[in-house]
């Protein structure tokens, strides 16, 4: 009998006992490492996509800064704590809704701060406006220096020169109210361009008038009116461009630009007259306002104040607008009047008083230059001063300092004391010009008509320039120049505090 052959059972070799083929072992080890890595990775939450994925829709929809903020807050790493156990105070920031809300609030606050600082900062349109104001006063300073020599060259008598010079101040004063009433922010660029051209023609036109009395009188009237209109518009435009923010610093730079132009007009006008003659200097420097008009062309459209009070049409509306103007505008008018009454009465008659006490004309000129330089310098740094001291406080002490420094002039004979008094007067005058203009600028945020406020404020400057020398001459002739300084200064102080308080 033949037995069937049984199949031999093979014992597993050493390779099979160790786990099979080498490739199978490598795959198993790789799978174990992946499982271990997944176990150590933080758990994904619902609505919170895994970071680092290329097609993450949240990264495509959000800004890069927001995505970085989300990633930074999503997985906080704290030494000594479980990575899979988030802290309770950090957990809300992991949710996209919370992160988005916080980021939007932070961005809104940052944009608001940036908008406020950009409005109040010295931006390009405001800087261009300072250059325009400086160019206008440079031409005016040149004419102020050369007007009398120009008329004398053509044989005009002294009374005629005085009368024509008075016309400049009178029509400058006359222009303030109509210019302020005509001003509107939407038309500011056209108005500035028009009056810059008129002012240039009325300044350079003297070079081509050949001394004709009719032409000279007409040019004088137009020049005075145009300068008054430009002064009103320049101040109103500067206030509207800055929105009335940081009024102390902005008005400090604006008034510094004005005084810089006057100084440049005196120095450059005199040098140009020596080289080119009086006519040539007037023709050349009179063209600066027209050249500065190129900076007005790119001026942005100015919008009115959001809470501006609408003015009724016609003369009745104009009178009503002036009647309801804020009392602080009239206080600024009073300060401007006070400044120029004291300043012009002293500047006109101090050289004569100095000669009577042994002060030469050269020293009198140095004293006047010191006062002008101190007033200009303090305006440039007034912004830093008003960061620590309120401009209303500076206004009160400035009025006192200016009045006292003018009041005691008649009792002094020492040149060093005169230098100290003129330095104090220059600092006080410079600060008062800034604080009074800042008082007007601040009212823009309350809806005050900036054009009318600018016209009223500048009227005080013009009226003081006319009244100061006239009062000084009458009083000085009656009681002497030394007593005149005391009487005019004391009366002006009493007038100011009586009206202000």
pLDDT score, position 11? 54
Measured CA to CA, the distance from residue 127 to residue 150 in angstroms comes to 34
Is CATH 1.20.1250.20 correct for 119-304?
Answer: yes
Task: Name the most confidently modeled range: 49-53, 73-77, 135-139, 451-455.
Answer: 135-139
pLDDT single digits (tens) 182-213: 888 888 889 999 999 999 999 999 999 988 99
Alpha carbon of 219 to those of 206, 230, 424, 475: distances in Å? 7, 16, 38, 33
CA 230 to chain CA mean position, Å: 17
Confidence of residue 83 (pLDDT cuts 50, 70, 90): very low
- Spatial distance between the Cα atoms of 77 and 90, rounded to a whole number of angstroms: 11
Q: Check residue 130 and give its pLDDT.
A: 92
Structure tokens at 213: 């009395």
pLDDT bracket for residue 41 (50, 70, 90): low
What pLDDT is recorded for position 469? 84
Do the Cβ atoms of 254 and 437 come closer than 8 Å?
A: yes
Let me know: does 454 contact 471? Beta carbons within 8 Å: no
Q: How many CB atoms lie within 10 A of CB 268?
A: 18
Q: How far is CA 284 from CA 118, 193, 194, 290, 296, in A?
A: 37, 19, 20, 11, 20
> What pLDDT, on the 0 to 100 scale, is given for residue 33?
79
Question: Same fold for the domain at 119-304 and the one at 316-501?
Answer: yes
Length of the chain: 501
pLDDT at 40: 65
Six token digits for residue 344: 């012009």
- Cα-only R_g, the chain: 38
Quote the tokens at residue 325.
């103007």
User: What average pLDDT does this structure show over 303-315?
Assistant: 67
Cβ atoms of residues 135 and 261 within 8 Å: yes
The pLDDT of residue 101: 55
Please state the separation of Cα 53 from the chain's center in Å: 51
pLDDT, position 198: 94
Whether the Cβ atoms of residue 168 and residue 150 lie closer than 8 Å to each other: no
Q: Are 216 and 206 in contact (CB under 8 A)?
A: yes
What's the DSSP call for residue 165? H
Q: Which three-class secondary structure state does DSSP give residue 469?
A: helix
Residue of 145 and 487 predicted with greater confidence: 487
Residue-level pLDDT at 200? 94
Q: How far apart are CA 45 and CA 95, in angstroms?
A: 9
Q: For residue 217, is pLDDT > 70?
A: yes
> What whole-number distance in Å separates Cα of residue 267 and Cα of residue 262?
9
Query: CB neighbours (10 Å) of residue 126?
Result: 18
Phi then psi for residue 130, to 5 deg, are: -65, -40
Q: With H, G, I as helix, E, B as strand and everything else as coil, classify residue 54.
A: coil
Residue 125: both structure tokens together? 């349109």
Residue range 407-430: average pLDDT? 90
221, 171 contact by CB (below 8 A): yes
- C-alpha distances out from residue 320 to 315, 324, 442, Å: 8, 6, 21
CATH number of 316-501: 1.20.1250.20
Quote the tokens at residue 43: 């758990």
Would you kindly state where each structural domain of the chain is located, as residue ranges? 119-304, 316-501
Structure tokens at 186: 């939407």
**78-109 burial by CB neighbour count: b if 16+ within 10 A, else e?**
eeeeeeeebeeeeeebbbeeebeeebeeeeee
Cα–Cα–Cα angle for 16, 22, 24, rounded to 5 degrees: 85
For the stretch 92-119, pLDDT in tens is 444 555 545 555 555 555 555 554 444 4
Which of 46-55, 315-324, 446-455 shows the lowest per-residue confidence on average (mean pLDDT)? Answer: 46-55
Measured in Å, how far apart are the chain's first and last C-alpha atoms? 145
């Amino acid at each position: 009998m033949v037995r069937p052959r049984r199949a031999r059972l093979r014992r597993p070799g050493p390779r099979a006992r160790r786990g099979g083929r080498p490739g199978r072992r490598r795959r198993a080890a790789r799978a174990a490492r992946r499982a271990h890595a997944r176990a150590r990775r933080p758990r994904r939450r619902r609505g919170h996509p895994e970071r680092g994925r290329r097609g993450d829709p949240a990264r495509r929809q959000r800004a890069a800064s927001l995505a970085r903020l989300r990633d930074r807050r999503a997985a906080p790493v704290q030494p000594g704590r479980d990575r899979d156990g988030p802290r309770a105070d950090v957990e809300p920031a992991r949710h996209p809704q919370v992160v988005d809300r916080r980021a939007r609030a932070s961005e809104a606050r940052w944009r608001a701060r940036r908008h406020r600082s950009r409005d109040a900062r010295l931006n390009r349109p405001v800087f261009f406006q300072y250059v325009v104001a400086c160019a206008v006063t440079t031409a005016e300073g040149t004419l102020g220096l050369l007007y009398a020599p120009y008329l004398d060259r053509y044989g005009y008598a002294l009374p005629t020169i005085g009368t024509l010079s008075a016309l400049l101040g009178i029509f400058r004063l006359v222009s303030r109210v109509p210019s302020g009433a005509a001003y509107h922010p939407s038309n500011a660029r056209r108005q500035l361009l028009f009056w810059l051209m008129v002012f240039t023609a009325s300044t350079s036109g003297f070079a081509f008038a050949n001394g004709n009395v009719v032409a000279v009188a007409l040019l004088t009237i137009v020049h005075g009116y145009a300068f008054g209109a430009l002064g009103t518009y320049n101040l109103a435009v500067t206030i509207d461009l800055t929105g009335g923010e940081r009024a102390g610093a902005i008005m400090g730079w604006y008034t510094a630009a004005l005084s810089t132009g006057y100084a440049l007009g005196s120095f450059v006008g005199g040098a140009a007259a020596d080289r080119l003659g009086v006519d040539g200097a007037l023709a050349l420097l009179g063209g600066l306002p027209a050249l500065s008009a190129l900076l007005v062309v790119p001026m942005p459209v100015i919008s009115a104040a959001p809470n501006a009070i609408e003015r009724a049409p016609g003369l009745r509306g104009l009178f009503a607008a002036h009647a309801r103007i804020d009392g602080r505008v009239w206080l600024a008018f009073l300060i401007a009047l006070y400044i120029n009454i004291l300043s012009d009465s002293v500047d006109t008659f101090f050289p004569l008083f100095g000669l009577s006490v042994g002060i030469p004309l050269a020293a009198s000129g140095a004293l006047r230059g010191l006062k002008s330089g101190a007033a200009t310098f303090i305006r440039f740094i007034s912004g830093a001063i008003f960061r620590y001291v309120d401009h209303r406080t500076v206004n009160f002490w400035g009025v006192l300092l200016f009045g006292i420094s003018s009041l005691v002039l008649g009792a002094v004979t020492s040149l060093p004391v005169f230098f100290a008094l003129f330095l104090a007067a220059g600092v006080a005058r410079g600060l008062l010009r800034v604080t009074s203009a800042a008082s007007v600028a601040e009212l823009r945020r309350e809806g005050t008509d900036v054009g009318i406020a600018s016209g009223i404020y500048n009227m005080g400057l013009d009226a003081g320039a006319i009244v100061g020398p006239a009062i000084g001459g009458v009083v000085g002739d009656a009681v002497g120049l030394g007593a005149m300084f005391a009487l005019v200064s004391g009366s002006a102080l009493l007038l100011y505090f009586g009206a202000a308080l």
